[in-house]
Amino acid sequence: MPANYDVIIIGAGAAGLMCAATAGYRGRRVLVIDHASKAGKKILMSGGGRCNFTNLNSTPSNFLSANPHFCISALKRYTPQHFLDLVERHGIEHEEKAAGQLFCRDSSKDIVNLLLTECEWAGAEVRLKTTVNKVEPLAEGFRLRTGSGPLECASLVIACGGLSIPTLGATGFGYDIARQFGLEVLPTRAGLVPFTLHPELKEQLAPLSGISCPVDVHCNGEHFREPMLVTHRGLSGPSMLQISSFWEPGDALAVDLLPGENAAEALMAQRKARPQSTVAHYLNQHLPKRFAQAFNDLNGWQGPLQGYKNSGIEQVAQTLNRWHIKPAGTEGYRTAEVTLGGVDTRQLSSRTMAVNDRPDLFFIGEVVDVTGHLGGHNFQWAWASGVAAGNEA
Ligand SMILES: Cc1cc2nc3c(=O)[nH]c(=O)nc-3n(C[C@H](O)[C@H](O)[C@H](O)COP(=O)(O)OP(=O)(O)OC[C@H]3O[C@@H](n4cnc5c(N)ncnc54)[C@H](O)[C@@H]3O)c2cc1C
């Protein structure tokens, strides 16, 4: 005889555990299944080991989706303050790093422990190292064939996440289930991911490797004013991760190395005031020293400014305010923080996350076509969509 549950959730990550606790507190008999050996592996890795668990300034405009209004309802009903209250009830020390970005002071483990404790208090069972081989629809509910025997449930929640970082247990299983039930899965691609460079440019930029500087990067009508990091593999840092979610293969990035500064005007003023000074002098005042030097050498800017015509200064300024870089690609799912695309939200209820014509089947978290910007928004979506489904499943 299959074991019977009210709710089975596939995926013991951020969204699945939040959903399990919420449904458990409603008195539902809940089981969470995961094929991994540990719950919340991505949470443990997140935020450099200190989990950027929410963003106090999170709004629907921080999310990408083919259906941008879909996320509004869930995010409005479960806000960053709700999750912060939960963190504080568990006595977890936290700190705000950049504006609104809340991190654990000690370790991401605190968030996983919070979720597992909530599941325990709510009576939700978590079963790890369990594979699901098949999901069969019944007249009412579902039967699951798993590595540890058959299971049945009235409501099934898919919380399998996206494709990013396969070594942490990511699979396309959630998309397979969506297709099995006739849902459309929008094309997926890696987001919040470092860029790779063509060998020639990579070699040219090698002297800048390891240096971070604040930039304003533009692509496809979006821009992010945050630090850029040149690495031995390519371009990373918050600005590059952010813009990668908007970048399409073949696109160029326009990088403003001096955000807020009109380099042409500033260089002309400097030429007038100190004709013997150089572009390197100017760069030294505005960029990290090692970056300034290497960038100047890379561009071969030499001699005093008085030797530059206006057109020459404008060319230098163009490179500084609109440095065009054409990435070769991205590092892909191997290092991406998120997966863009996924289960088409037009087939889901924005209130409950249930499939419109199958109200006992739910999709939550990253498997759905809702992807946040960098900075705690993705976890906020996991919590909010998990709670929305947990209140209904
Ligand atoms: C390195 C890194 C750092 C990040 N840092 C942050 C951050 O600081 N702040 C932030 O907001 N976001 C961050 N993110 C993004 C965030 O981790 C995800 O958006 C979030 O975890 C998505 O939650 P989820 O529950 O939908 O999926 P996941 O947390 O990925 O959980 C999915 C679960 O499903 C399980 N699973 C998958 N396939 C199967 C299957 N076939 N059978 C059974 N179980 C299965 C997996 O083992 C996993 O436990 C980071 C991501 C990465 C990779």
Question: Residue 39: CB partners within 8 Å, gap ≥ 6?
Answer: 12, 13, 17, 32, 112, 115, 116, 126, 128
Distances (CA, A) of 84 to 62, 87, 153, 169, 291: 19, 5, 32, 27, 39
Residues 17, 111: Cα–Cα separation, whole Å: 11
Determine the pLDDT at residue 239: 98
CA of 364 to the centre of ligand 1 (A): 11
Distances (CA, A) of 386 to 148, 238, 338, 353: 25, 27, 17, 9
User: For ligand 1, which residues put their CB under 6 angstroms from it?
Assistant: 10-16, 33-36, 41-42, 45-47, 51-52, 132, 159-161, 164-165, 169, 171, 173, 337-338, 365-366, 376-379, 382
Question: Residue 375: CB partners within 8 Å, gap ≥ 6?
Answer: 52, 55, 62, 98, 100, 101, 238
Determine the pLDDT at residue 345: 98
Kindly state the percentage of the chain with pLDDT values over 90.
94
For 185, the token pair is: 């899965």
User: Which residue among 337, 377, 383 is best mutated to probe the pocket of ligand 1, counting the most ligand atoms within 8 A of its Cβ?
Assistant: 337
Determine the pLDDT at residue 169: 83
Determine the pLDDT at residue 2: 78
Which residue stretches of the chain have pLDDT < 70? none
Residues 247, 223: Cα–Cα separation, whole Å: 11
Reported as a single tens digit per residue, the pLDDT across 9-36 is: 999 999 999 999 999 999 999 999 999 9
Determine the pLDDT at residue 168: 86
Determine the pLDDT at residue 300: 94
Determine the pLDDT at residue 3: 83
Count other Cβ atoms within 10 Å, centred on residue 245: 24
Which alpha helices (DSSP H) does 199-347 contain, by range?
Answer: 199-205, 238-244, 263-273, 279-286, 289-299, 310-321
pTM above threshold 0.85: yes
Query: Phi and psi for 185 in degrees, rounded to 5?
Result: -115, 120
CA of 161 to the centre of ligand 1 (A): 5
Task: Name the nearest CA neighbour of 119 among 109, 129, 127, 107.
Answer: 127
